[in-house]
Amino acid sequence: MTALDVLMLGLALGVFLCLYRALRGPTPADRAVSVDILGVLMVGFCAVMTVATGKDLYMIVGLAWASLAFVGSLALAKFLEGRSFDD
């Protein structure tokens, strides 16, 4: 096992913990928190993939994922509060 395998397996364990909270979360707010954190973890996964492959494609994927996760979290928060999307 190389160092990159350890990094990827550790991040995968974190992703599964987040998914556990997203599935078991007693309230919708817990699921929103879990999905928000899942997006940030995926950017970390893209960073590890960049080091593993040496291609900058994965960094572009990480940038796009970060911005989309931010917009999605804001939309989820607004929906959670009971407001509509054009409010």
Partner 1 sequence: MIDFSNPLHLLAYGVMAAGLAFDLVGCIGLVRLPDVYNRLQAGTKCVTLGTCLLLLGVLLRFGFGSMGWKALLCLWFIAMTSPTAAHAIARAAHRAGYALWKGSVGDRYAEDDEGRNIQPAAAADRPKEA
CA 43/CA 12 separation, integer angstroms:
12
Q: At what angle do helices 28-53 and 57-80 cross, to 10 degrees?
A: 170
φ/ψ region of 54 (left if φ > 0, alpha if ψ in -120 to 50, else beta) reads: left
Size of the site for partner 1 (CB under 8 A): 48
Residue 4 found at the interface with partner 1 (CB under 8 A)? yes
Q: Residues in the site for partner 1, rule: CB under 8 A?
A: 2-4, 6-7, 10-11, 13-15, 17-18, 20-21, 27, 29-30, 32-34, 36-37, 40-41, 43-44, 47-48, 50-51, 54, 56, 59-60, 62-63, 66-67, 69-70, 73-74, 76-78, 80-82
